[in-house]
Amino acid sequence: MIRVENLKKTLTGTEVLRDVSLRVEKGEFLALIGGSGSGKSVLLKHIAGLMQPDSGRIWIDDEDLGSLRGRKLEMIRRRYGFVFQSGALFDSMTVYDNLAFPLREKTKLSESEIKEKIVRELEQVELHGVESKYPAQLSGGMVKRTALARALIMDPEIIFFDEPTTGLDPIIADAMLKLFGRCQQRLNLTGIIVSHRIPQIFSIAQKVAMLHEGAIVSAPCENGTIQTDNRILKQFVEGAIEGPVRYE
Amino acid sequence: MFVRLTLWLGGIGTFHIRRVGRSGIFLIESLACLLTPPIKWGRIARRIQFIGWQSTGLICLTGAFTGMVLALQGYNTLKRVGSEALLGPLVALSLIRELGPVLAALLVTGRAGSALTAEISIMRNNEQVDAMKLMGLNPLRYLVFPAMVAGVISLTILTWIFDVTGIFGGYLIGVKLLGLPSGTYFGEISRYLEMDDIVGGIYKSLSFGLIMTWICCYKGYYTGIGAEGASKATTQAVVTTSVFILIWDFFVTTVIF
């Protein structure tokens, strides 16, 4: 379970997170939406422990993330899988080595066990025959699939997606979202996905949280639609220019 | 007016003190990897291959020409006071005590240090460093510490190579071109060269290796955003390292010689 309490963060004089509180239950998949530059990725990086808040707390189960250092923080991070916007694959390594890297460094698996696990993981993300290729030789969709496979290879409990469909055509982007949803369901992962793919994102999420002016507006999500009377959230989801918020 | 000026100066002062503190912590945390295994020997070997082995040609070439210029200039100067026989010690001592460590460090900074900054900078901007952290891996152990160890080892060896090729370059000019007897050239070197000179040169190259990799890795690790940030970081790394090496050289020289 992820719990964010009264998170505040100012970056270069701008209050990016004003008072963010959020809760994601175990096995729940949350879609984090909001305008460009609203601080979604910043929030995600705080929850992942990559950034420190000015004030506020983040709880992962019963662990206060802000109080963890060194080995304890590493242990929490090992429970995470993170799919970055760019994929963040190591460009000096092949796809195989990208997947093998955390296994070689953090487990005692033999090379044959590592190979078996990589083949299985690549099958799960529907990727074949790319083991010996370098990230620069892959298409956008293949990079995202590889990034997903790498995020899942250490059997995480929590998974984060930071705008994982950016740069993909609409058909591939939808296929990727469905793949993310299937993986999350099958492995019963707790997850947060930052995405601009509205309304497609609602078909895989159980809850939607919109980051607006540094605070959260949330609503449950059912059968691909959100259940809300909040006018700000409705306006954003409908993509309406007219409404309580003026978009220029 | 006075209050605003004080606040402005205070702001700048705090900013720079914070940066110095951050770079010091960066160095300590990187070196602490030595005390907390595992040490990544494979990565250290690959870095030695990149920083050291791939710089060998450049060092041989520049070392030889530095020795040749020293011999040409030295011979003409020594001839005025009738001491041409001391050409060998002049070339050897200049190289071993001073020029070898400094020039090798500056050349390796330009070739390998800048590449280190660019590489880490790109990894940082592409979120590869964050990906490493999220795997529960310490990026300093994988990216910075191996570079530091490799920098220290490589620069020490490269300095020896620079010195040897420089002395050989001086031999070519002094003996083969200007007609100084070969026995005089090498005999006077062995007469005047002391172990302290060699050890002092080694101390210098060891410290320059650490300074180069520390500053270059630090600049890459705390790079700016995008291509412009990476380009600025690379320029700053080369300039800062070069200036720092020359300043440090002065202090080391006053202490050990």
pLDDT in tens, A112-171: 999 999 999 999 888 888 999 999 999 988 999 999 999 999 999 999 999 888 888 888
Q: What whole-number distance in Å separates Cα of residue A146 and Cα of residue A140?
A: 10
Q: Which residues of A touch B137 (CB under 8 A)?
A: 102, 105-106
A122 with B162: CB under 8 angstroms? no
| DSSP assignment letter at A61 | T
CB contact (8 A) between residue B136 and residue A106: yes
Mutate one of A50, A76, A152, A163 to test the B interface: name it (highest B CB count within 10 A).
A50
B170 with B88: CB under 8 angstroms? yes
Per domain, the residue ranges of chain A are: 1-79+158-248, 90-155
Residue A217 has pLDDT above 90, yes or no: no
B139-189 tens-digit pLDDT = 999 999 999 999 999 999 999 999 999 999 999 999 999 999 999 999 999
User: A186: pLDDT confidence band, cut at 50, 70 and 90?
Assistant: confident
Structure tokens given for A135: 């990230």
Residue A245 has pLDDT above 80, yes or no: no
Is the confidence metric ipTM above 0.85 for this complex? Answer: yes
Section B95-118 average pLDDT: 96
Section B97-111 average pLDDT: 96
Residues within 8 A of B (CB atoms), A 63-122 only: 74-75, 77-78, 80, 82, 84-86, 88-91, 101-102, 105-106
Q: Is B90 exposed, middle or buried (0-12, 13-18, 19+ CB in 10 A)?
A: buried
Section B67-89 average pLDDT: 93
Residue A248 has pLDDT above 70, yes or no: no
B125 with B229: CB under 8 angstroms? yes
CB neighbour list of residue B252: distance below 8 Å, 6 or more residues apart: B203, B204, B207
Report yes or no: B126 at the A interface, CB cutoff 8 Å: yes
pLDDT at A179: 86
B155/A215: higher pLDDT: B155
pLDDT at A228: 82
Q: What whole-number distance in Å separates Cα of residue A161 and Cα of residue A107?
A: 24
Which residue type does A178 have?
K
Which residue type does B133 have?
K
Q: What percent of chain A is modeled with pLDDT above 70?
A: 99
Q: Which residues of B touch A74 (CB under 8 A)?
A: 136, 138
B201-221 tens-digit pLDDT = 999 999 999 999 999 999 999
A39 in the Ramachandran plot: left (φ > 0), alpha (ψ -120 to 50) or beta?
Answer: left
pLDDT at A56: 93
A212 with A232: CB under 8 angstroms? yes
pLDDT at A247: 65
Q: What whole-number distance in Å separates Cα of residue A170 and Cα of residue B37?
A: 47
Q: What percent of chain A is modeled with pLDDT above 90?
A: 44
The yes/no answer on whether domain A1-79+158-248 falls in CATH 3.40.50.300 is: yes
- C-alpha pair distances (Å), A76 with each of A62, A65, A66, A160: 11, 8, 11, 14
A92-123 tens-digit pLDDT = 999 999 999 999 998 999 999 999 999 999 99
- Residue count of chain B, please give it: 257
A49-63 tens-digit pLDDT = 889 999 999 999 888
A42/A244: higher pLDDT: A42
Section B57-63 average pLDDT: 97
CA-nearest of A72, A70, A93 to B33 is A70
Residue A18 has pLDDT above 70, yes or no: yes
Give chain A's end-to-end CA distance (angstroms, integer): 37
pLDDT at B147: 97
For chain B, give the mean pLDDT.
94
pLDDT at B129: 95
List the beta bridge partners of residue A33. A210
